[in-house]
Structure 1
Amino acid sequence: MKTFKILLVCATLIATPAWATTIELTVHGLVCGFCAQGIEKTLRKNPATADVLVSLENRLVAVATKDGQDISDADLRSALTNAGYDVKAIERTQNSMSDLRARLKVAK
């Protein structure tokens, strides 16, 4: 029975697709639409980026990665710091970008 449970868990892990991750960054220094456009343009250059959301009101930058890909915290922090922003926190979640947009009331 124990062997069956182990095989079942392994089969589930193999059959489960790799889901995209959403990386949420708390960023200080966001003051205008120009800031948002610059951040979005910078982060979209990364080949692992699927989508970017910038919320000035919430001081939040969210990056959705492509399935099975990742962007390191160091790369994200470096990109935003080099652009003149202060990254306060980085959190990885399974929240979809559409859920995040709905929660923050941000249009696409």
Structure 2
Amino acid sequence: MRTSNFLLAFTLLATGADATTIEMKVNGLVCSFCAQGIEKTLRKNPATQDVLVSLENRLVAIVTKDGTDIADADLRKALTDAGYDVKAIERTQRSMDELRSRLKQSQ
């Protein structure tokens, strides 16, 4: 019984151990003040490891801490309550470095 509990716990930890990047297409981003406000709001969530806001690409990306997640509904509510329109939410395995590099190339 103990062995099976240990294996179950290990399996659950192993499947949720990688950080996830949540990429959102957001309309209504018009200034650096918008970006700062969104970043500050999202960093308050204990699951947030890093945040990236690109005004030019209407992109808000969050990297969650290992083994954590933030529900789409919570993200949508936080941004909608702040006055923004969330068009899409996608979970990826892209790192923030990859995203920053891709955004630099598109400019």
Q: Distance in 2 between matches of 1:72 and 1:26?
A: 16
| Structure 1: gaps spanning 5 or more residues | 1-9
Q: Which has the larger radius of gyration?
A: 1
Q: Distance in 1 between matches of 2:35 and 2:29?
A: 7
**Secondary structure in structure 1 of the residue aligned to 2:60:** strand
**Secondary structure in structure 1 of the residue aligned to 2:29:** coil
Q: Which amino acid aligns with 2:34?
A: C
**Secondary structure in structure 2 of the residue aligned to 1:31:** coil
**Secondary structure in structure 2 of the residue aligned to 1:54:** strand
Q: Which residue of 2 aligns with 1:27?
A: 26
Deviation at 1:84, TM superposition (A): 0.2
TM-score with structure 1 setting the length: 0.82
List per-residue Cα deviations over 1:28-67 (Å, max 9, x = no partner): 0000000000000000000000000000000000000000
Q: Distance in 1 between matches of 2:56 and 2:72?
A: 23
> Does residue 51 in structure 1 map to residue 53 in structure 2?
no
Q: Which amino acid aligns with 1:44?
A: R
Q: Which residue of 1 aligns with 2:97?
A: 98
Q: Which amino acid aligns with 2:40?
A: K
Deviation at 1:78, TM superposition (A): 0.2
Map 1:38-77 → 2, pairs under 5 A: 38-77=37-76
Identity, in percent, stands at: 76
Q: Which amino acid aligns with 2:63?
A: A
| Structure 2: gaps spanning 5 or more residues | 1-6
**Secondary structure in structure 1 of the residue aligned to 2:41:** helix
Q: Distance in 2 between matches of 1:97 and 1:55?
A: 12
Q: CA RMSD in A?
A: 1.9
TM-score with structure 2 setting the length: 0.83
Deviation at 1:105, TM superposition (A): 1.4
